[in-house]
Amino acid sequence: MIKKQKYNAEDQLYLTSMMVSKFICPYYKQKVVWNPMIPFDRYVLPSTAEWISKYIYKQNLCQYRTLEDPLASMKNIRADLVKQTGITGKGVKIGILEMGEIDIKDHELIHLNIESNPDMDTLEKKDFHTTLVSKIIAGKTLGIVPNTKLYYSRYLTEKQFRSGIEWLIKQGCNIINFSAAFEGANPNEELGTYTELANWIDTLAVIHKVHFVKSAGNNKFPYHSPYNSSPDTFWITNPGMAYNIMTVGAIDDLGTPEWADDKWGQLRDGTIYSAYEEMEGTALKPDLCAPGTNVFSPLIKDGNSGTSFAAPQVTGVIAQMIEAQPELSWDVGAVRAILAAGTIHRTANDYGTYKESLFYSDKEGVGVVDAKGAFDIIKKRQYKTFFYHRSAFPYRFIIDVGHGETLKRVSLSWLKLNRIGTDGIPIKPQLANLDLYILDPDRIEVAHSCSTRSNIEVVEFSPKKTGYYSVIVVAESISRENEYERIAVAWM
């Protein structure tokens, strides 16, 4: 646990201004004096910008003085261990879709030669939010994959949003990170619902084989007032309800790599912000979580909390996975299955709420992303991905459980197979309903996951016997428009 001391505002400002780089390893070698209280420009709603600054300062900055590791988030999700193997994003293309202007001359980003959408006007004012998202992914010393290739597009209108995604796809981006929320004509009606825009994203993921990563939203922050959400709701923001998108919630790692002190979805003062609510009958979101509170603290002390900064950590992990196994660049379902199977860290208190899927949390999804867990699954080739004819279900295969294995985790993922027909008309079938069962060597069921709403199933069990365990995928229902289903299974 980190040691915390309480100071008044005057002491806080003095001590912060006196902090020098010897406390901050990545910058000490550069002999840079860093003042984390220097404000950054950021895109906010003009009417609330001053209020946001005062709110965050009062609620999150002046209460405590903490000595934290600026790389704590990367270490918490164990992306640093993968990075140490030489996985740095080489050959992976990542697109960033934001509302503000990226600072391509930032010392953490200048090495990247970021390519911007030529159809955009360059803004003089650089955006803190956009720049920080980019640093988390690919910062020279702070980023998860510093050798990736970054592409960037900005939007304000729906036309710009769609054309920006299309431009990123044309550049060959394997992953597109969207750490914002799109507001259409009726933003209240878009929260927690499967919108036309979400349907379009699902189609792009299938046709172009692109990994989309979206922040869940910060619905309890008062500066989300344009949604007119009540203080007691935490709606997933648009288009985060897409089935084929990886929607990411946030945890607070308290500035340490250790898991034991982590808290789900909160600021340092205990305020909960990570969105998790959706309309009945839609997908269960978020899919998983990552650290999103006080990211890069103490290097940055203003505006660095939110699911916006959890999503790019998952983007960075997916980039690591693609470099480790390039065939994953086009296999959206396999990446989702591997991430789910490799995740064993939990912080939420509502696992078991869904009796049909005991290891899925309404607040946290399958858990907190674990880069090392995913990397190990890839290296051991403990995943399968395949097309399976609708008439051939149930699908069966076996996994070998040896001596000394105390925990097994298996996941199943599939896509909502939106596509364009040969006549040019969009095909938007209902999501298949698939279930996952595990049988021990004596063919006794030891685990199952049978959610009716999501396209991820995950189970855990403690083997009582060694030998061959059966993994069975049962199709409860498949759309008549789908002759085949694309399925991915992963295990650890």
Clarify whether residues 432 and 310 are in a common domain.
Answer: no
Q: Are residues 394 and 263 in the same domain?
A: no
Q: With contact defined as beta carbons under 8 Å apart, do 237 and 278 qualify? A: no
CA dist., res. 333 & res. 456, Å (int)? 9
Each residue's pLDDT, cut to its tens digit, for the chain (492 residues) gives 443 333 343 344 333 333 333 333 332 233 333 333 333 333 333 333 333 333 433 344 334 335 789 999 999 999 999 999 999 999 999 999 999 999 999 999 999 999 999 998 878 899 999 999 999 999 999 999 999 999 999 998 889 999 999 999 999 999 999 999 887 666 667 888 999 999 999 999 999 999 999 999 987 544 343 444 455 578 899 999 999 999 999 999 999 999 999 999 999 989 899 999 998 889 999 999 999 999 998 888 778 999 999 999 999 999 999 999 999 999 999 999 999 999 999 999 999 888 899 999 999 999 999 999 999 999 999 999 999 999 999 999 999 999 989 999 999 999 999 999 888 889 999 999 999 999 999 999 999 999 999 999 999 999 999 999 999 999 999 999 999 999 999 999
Residue 366 lies in a domain: yes
Is 342:377 a contact under the CB 8 Å cutoff? yes
Strands 149-154, 93-98: parallel, antiparallel or unpaired by DSSP? Answer: parallel
Tell me the H-state helices in 112-194: 128-138, 158-170, 187-190
Q: Is 208 exposed, middle or buried (0-12, 13-18, 19+ CB in 10 A)?
A: middle
Peptide bond just before 298 cis, omega within 30 deg: yes
Is residue 445 located within the same domain as residue 337? Answer: no
Asked if residue 5 belongs to a domain, the reply is no
- For residues 387 and 243, state if they share a domain: no
CB 6 within 8 A of CB 63: yes
Q: CA torsion, points 62, 66, 69, 75, in degrees to nearest 10?
A: -90
Claim to verify: residue 366 and residue 430 sit in the same structural domain: no
Structure tokens at 4: 């915390």
**SS3 assignment, position 472:** strand
Question: Which of 382, 385, 372 lies closest to 330 in space, CA to CA?
Answer: 385
Angstrom distance (rounded) from CA 103 to CA 127: 7
Rounded Cα–Cα distance for residues 32 and 24 (Å): 10
Asked, for residue 4, whether it belongs to a domain, the answer is no
Contact 60, 144 (CB under 8 A): no
Same domain, 364 and 432: no
Dihedral of CA atoms 254, 257, 259, 261 in degrees, nearest 10, equals -30
- 3-state helix, strand, coil split of the chain in percent (to 5) is 25, 25, 50
Does 173 reside within a domain? yes
Q: Which residues, at least 6 apart from 4, have a Cβ–Cβ distance to it below 8 Å?
A: 64, 65, 66
The answer to whether residues 373 and 453 touch, using CB atoms and an 8 Å cutoff, is no
Cα 132 from Cα 103, distance rounded (Å): 9
Calculate the alpha carbon distances from 79 to 83, 224, 320, 474 in Å. Answer: 6, 31, 8, 34
- Residue 21 domain flag: yes
Same-domain check for residues 276 and 337: yes
- Token look-up 């299309």 returns 166
Side-chain-side CA neighbours of residue 113 (13 Å): 4
In the chain, the number of structural domains is: 3
Which CATH number fits the domain that encloses residue 485?
Answer: 2.60.120.380
> Does any domain span residue 139?
yes
pLDDT at 231: 55
Q: Residue 270 burial (CB < 10 Å; 0-12/13-18/19+)?
A: exposed
**Alpha carbon of residue 138 to chain centroid:** 15
Six-digit token pair at 327?
């065939």
pLDDT for residue 248: 98
- On whether both 232 and 171 belong to a single domain, the answer is yes
Of 22, 40, 65, which residue is a domain's last? 65
Q: Are residues 408 and 272 in the same domain?
A: no
Note the pTM of the prediction, 2 decimals.
0.85
**Does 3 reside within a domain?**
no
**pLDDT given for residue 185 in this prediction:** 60
pLDDT of residue 220: 56
Domain with 330, as residue range(s), is 69-378
Amino acid sitting at position 471: V
- Domain final residue, candidates 378, 402, 436: 378
User: What is the rounded (10 degree) CA torsion for 357, 359, 362, 367?
Assistant: -150
Please indicate, yes or no, if residue 199 is contained in any of the structural domains.
yes
Position 353 scores a pLDDT of 86
46 shares a domain with 76: no
Whether 74 and 192 share a structural domain: yes
Q: Are 40 and 52 contained in the same domain?
A: yes
Predicted pLDDT at 303:
82
Q: What is the CATH classification number for the domain harbouring 163?
A: 3.40.50.200
End residue of a domain, out of 332, 349, 378 = 378
Q: In degrees, to the nearest 5, what angle opens at C-alpha 301 toward C-alphas 103 and 53? A: 85
